């Protein structure tokens, strides 16, 4: 308990530091949001409506918002983010949406542009590719307030990017920022509200551990009309049959992804594997096979994605660069080669790239036999359920919390004694206790506060100690 309590005090101190700056009261009158909602061909889910109410409620208080929006693949986070940004614009401010990759930033821009137009709001995009006069013109429009909503990559937070009145910063984080990066962003000086969106459903215990400094909104409903995705496990020895089935599906006008296997942490090896598979499939299926991988120049990557979105290529061979945010409603088949090498969260993200249109969708997990016990358990979980939160819980059970401290998820705390899986309730109690202690004794000067300082020192929570005005 002491270990979990020290961790939650650290997060609660970070939260108090984030909250201490007075925020703007950002309360819009709802006219832009009403225009967008009226133009939508569907009604938002109950979860979306609830999340928008929580976020705009937070924005309307004089305290700075620090909130996490987490939802399953395809639960509609982008719409929630847009409605929150429109609330900022209604109140006379600006909003920014930062995506982790250029592909995703352009995709967000393309999907938000028609809705921004309906609302009569100017939407801009800024990435590392903008240079010279074009970039200068965008920065000037941003500084004058003409651009109300800006979408972009990390380029948004460069020194020379200045907003006239930034009220809301949304971070669409594919690889999680830790508390420190969230604080660094908060330290940019403006009292902008912060909303972090994550597309990876997180088990409740991990959400409490990693995001204990934030309030959390959860999207746990899928939009109406989403069809379930049929998932099948196929041995790689039957790859020829898979290619034949693909040939028939492509001839019938369907589109498909073929994701190449992960190769030991080497983008160059993955690129080679992708290029070889692309050659083999082009030979087997003829022209109309596209290729996307991380080593391609940006223009070539864009062109390949544009061809696939427009239907000029029917099959897209890719590495995991397509894991997050690629949205092509006509694509209804996903083949994942070497599926046993992927983690559950990655498989779930990749599968979420299909099932976005009216067609019934299929995901084929190609594996190389013989399968180890852990790999079989992972693939069986994928076949059994589409619920991202159930998959995340299973992932934690299979890998154990110890594995979560690899390079991919270095934002997670390393516990020496506590067991995140078994002690979720204890973590929740520690969070409540830590927040209560700091509300009664924010500088930890009373007897229990003094004891907590000693605990933080013993647990080597140096960051927490630095946040206290007295060491």
Q: What is the pLDDT of residues 224-262, one digit of tens each?
A: 777 789 999 999 999 999 999 999 999 999 999 999 987
Statement to judge: residues 205 and 293 lie in one domain: no
Task: Name the domain boundary from 385, 405, 439.
Answer: 385
Considering the domain boundaries, does residue 446 fall inside one? Answer: no
Q: 353 versus 323: which is more confidently predicted?
A: 353
Contact 111, 330 (CB under 8 A): no
Domain around 178: 14-219
Q: What is the pLDDT of residues 191-212, one digit of tens each?
A: 788 898 887 777 766 776 666 7
- CA gap 463, 179 in Å, rounded: 11
82 pLDDT more than 90: yes
404 pLDDT more than 60: no
Q: Give the CA dihedral 134, 140, 144, 145, nearest 10 degrees.
A: 40
Statement to judge: residues 193 and 233 lie in one domain: no
132 pLDDT more than 60: yes
Between the CA of residue 4 and those of 152, 179, 284, 451, 471, what are the distances in Å? 37, 16, 56, 15, 21
Contact 449, 428 (CB under 8 A): no
Report DSSP state, residue 22.
B
Give the per-residue pLDDT at 324.
53
Give the per-residue pLDDT at 405.
30
Considering the domain boundaries, does residue 468 fall inside one? Answer: no
Q: In the β-sheet with 361-367, what is the strand arrangement from edge to edge? A: 229-235, 361-367, 331-337, 255-259, 315-318, 289-292
Give the per-residue pLDDT at 352.
85
402 pLDDT more than 60: no
Considering the domain boundaries, does residue 424 fall inside one? Answer: no
Give the per-residue pLDDT at 467.
67
Tokens of 413: 């705390």
pTM above 0.85, yes or no: no
Identify the bridge partners of residue 278 per DSSP, sorted by sequence position.
none
Nearest alpha-carbon partner for 174 in 346, 388, 324, 342:
324
Give the per-residue pLDDT at 262.
73
Q: In the β-sheet with 66-71, what is the strand arrangement from edge to edge? A: 123-126, 149-152, 94-98, 166-172, 193-198, 66-71, 215-219
Number of structural domains (the chain) is 2
Task: Name the domain boundary from 154, 188, 219.
Answer: 219
Instruction: Tell me the helix, strand and coil percentages in the chain, rounded to 5.
Output: 50, 15, 35
Statement to judge: residues 45 and 160 lie in one domain: yes
Considering the domain boundaries, does residue 210 fall inside one? Answer: yes
Tokens of 31: 């006219």
Residue 268's domain is classified under what CATH number? Answer: 3.40.50.300
Question: Which of helix, strand or coil describes residue 309?
Answer: helix
Considering the domain boundaries, does residue 402 fall inside one? Answer: no
Average of per-residue pLDDT across 396-401: 66
Axis-axis angle for helices 2-19, 179-186 (nearest 10)? 20
Q: 2 versus 211: which is more confidently predicted?
A: 2
pLDDT range class, residue 315, cuts 50, 70, 90: very high
Give the per-residue pLDDT at 422.
75
Provide the mean pLDDT of the chain.
Answer: 84
Give the per-residue pLDDT at 178.
53
Contact 195, 67 (CB under 8 A): yes
113 pLDDT more than 60: yes
Statement to judge: residues 192 and 332 lie in one domain: no
What is the DSSP annotation of 123-149?
A: EEEE-TT--HHHHHHHHHHHHHT---E
Tokens of 35: 């225009």
What element of type H or E holds 32?
helix 31-39
Q: Left (φ > 0), alpha (ψ -120 to 50) or beta: where does 311 sit?
A: left
Nearest alpha-carbon partner for 48 in 201, 227, 220, 226:
220
CA angle centred on 68, ends 64 and 71, rounded to 5°: 150
Give the per-residue pLDDT at 19.
60
Considering the domain boundaries, does residue 301 fall inside one? Answer: yes
Question: Which of helix, strand or coil describes residue 2?
Answer: helix
Contact 240, 62 (CB under 8 A): no
Statement to judge: residues 270 and 372 lie in one domain: yes
Report DSSP state, residue 178.
-
Statement to judge: residues 59 and 151 lie in one domain: yes
CA angle centred on 30, ends 28 and 34, rounded to 5°: 155
120 pLDDT more than 90: yes
Give the per-residue pLDDT at 323.
59
Statement to judge: residues 256 and 355 lie in one domain: yes
Statement to judge: residues 255 and 303 lie in one domain: yes
Q: List, in order, residues 6 or more apart from 463 with CB less than 8 Å away.
A: 10, 14, 180
215 pLDDT more than 90: no
Axis-axis angle for helices 77-90, 46-59 (nearest 10)? 30
Tokens of 44: 């938002």
pLDDT range class, residue 180, cuts 50, 70, 90: low
Statement to judge: residues 59 and 201 lie in one domain: yes
- Cis ω on the peptide bond leading into residue 370 (within 30° of 0)? yes
Q: What is the pLDDT of residues 258-313, one digit of tens each?
A: 999 876 666 677 778 889 999 999 999 999 999 998 788 878 888 898 899 899 99
- CA gap 27, 265 in Å, rounded: 46
Statement to judge: residues 130 and 265 lie in one domain: no
Q: What is the pLDDT of residues 27-40, one digit of tens each?
A: 889 999 999 999 99
Statement to judge: residues 211 and 234 lie in one domain: no
Considering the domain boundaries, does residue 60 fall inside one? Answer: yes
Task: Name the domain boundary from 219, 246, 262.
Answer: 219
Give the per-residue pLDDT at 185.
56
Give the per-residue pLDDT at 409.
41
Average of per-residue pLDDT across 133-161: 89
Nearest alpha-carbon partner for 385 in 46, 175, 72:
72
- CA gap 432, 434 in Å, rounded: 6
Average of per-residue pLDDT across 434-448: 92
Considering the domain boundaries, does residue 180 fall inside one? Answer: yes
Statement to judge: residues 242 and 188 lie in one domain: no
């Amino acid at each position: 308990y002491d270990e979990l309590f020290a961790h939650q005090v650290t997060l609660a101190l970070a939260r108090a530091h984030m909250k201490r700056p007075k925020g703007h009261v950002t309360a819009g009158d709802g006219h832009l949001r009403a225009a967008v909602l009226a133009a939508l061909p569907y009604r938002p889910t109950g979860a979306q409506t609830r999340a928008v109410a929580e976020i705009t409620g937070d924005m309307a208080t004089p305290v700075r918002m620090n909130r996490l929006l987490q939802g399953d693949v395809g639960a509609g986070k982008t719409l929630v983010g847009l409605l929150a940004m429109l609330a900022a614009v209604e109140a006379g401010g600006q909003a920014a949406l930062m995506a982790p990759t250029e592909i995703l930033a352009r995709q967000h821009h393309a999907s938000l542009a028609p809705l921004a137009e309906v609302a009569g709001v100017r939407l801009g995009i800024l990435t590392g590719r903008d240079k010279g006069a074009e970039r200068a013109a965008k920065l000037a429009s941003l500084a004058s307030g003409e651009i109300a909503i800006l979408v972009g990559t990390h380029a948004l937070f460069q020194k020379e990017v200045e907003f006239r009145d930034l009220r809301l910063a949304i971070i669409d984080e594919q690889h999680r920022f830790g508390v420190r990066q969230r604080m660094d962003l908060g330290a940019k000086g403006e009292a902008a509200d912060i909303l972090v969106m994550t597309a990876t459903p997180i088990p409740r215990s991990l959400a409490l551990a990693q995001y204990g400094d934030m309030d959390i909104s959860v999207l746990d409903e899928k939009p109406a009309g989403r069809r379930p995705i049929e998932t099948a496990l196929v041995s790689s020895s039957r790859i020829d049959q898979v290619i034949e089935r693909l040939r028939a599906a492509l001839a019938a006008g369907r589109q498909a992804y073929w994701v190449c296997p992960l190769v030991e942490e080497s983008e160059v090896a993955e690129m080679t594997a992708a290029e070889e598979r692309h050659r083999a499939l082009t030979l087997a299926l003829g022209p109309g096979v596209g290729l996307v991988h991380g080593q391609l120049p940006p223009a070539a990557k864009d062109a390949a994605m544009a061809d696939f979105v427009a239907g000029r290529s029917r099959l897209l061979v890719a590495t995991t660069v397509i894991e997050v945010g690629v949205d092509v409603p006509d694509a209804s088949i996903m083949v994942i080669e070497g599926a046993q090498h992927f983690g559950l969260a990655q498989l779930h993200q990749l599968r979420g790239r299909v099932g976005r249109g009216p067609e019934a969708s299929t995901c084929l997990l190609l594996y190389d036999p013989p399968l180890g016990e852990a790999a079989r358990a992972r693939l069986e979980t994928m076949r059994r359920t589409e619920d991202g939160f159930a998959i995340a819980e299973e992932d934690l059970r299979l890998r154990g919390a110890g594995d979560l401290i690899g390079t991919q998820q270095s934002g997670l705390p390393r516990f020496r004694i506590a067991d995140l899986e078994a002690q979720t309730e204890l973590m929740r109690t520690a969070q409540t206790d830590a927040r209560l202690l700091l509300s009664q004794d924010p500088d930890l000067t009373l007897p229990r506060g003094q004891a907590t300082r000693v605990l933080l020192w013993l647990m080597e929570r140096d960051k927490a100690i630095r946040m206290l005005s007295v060491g």
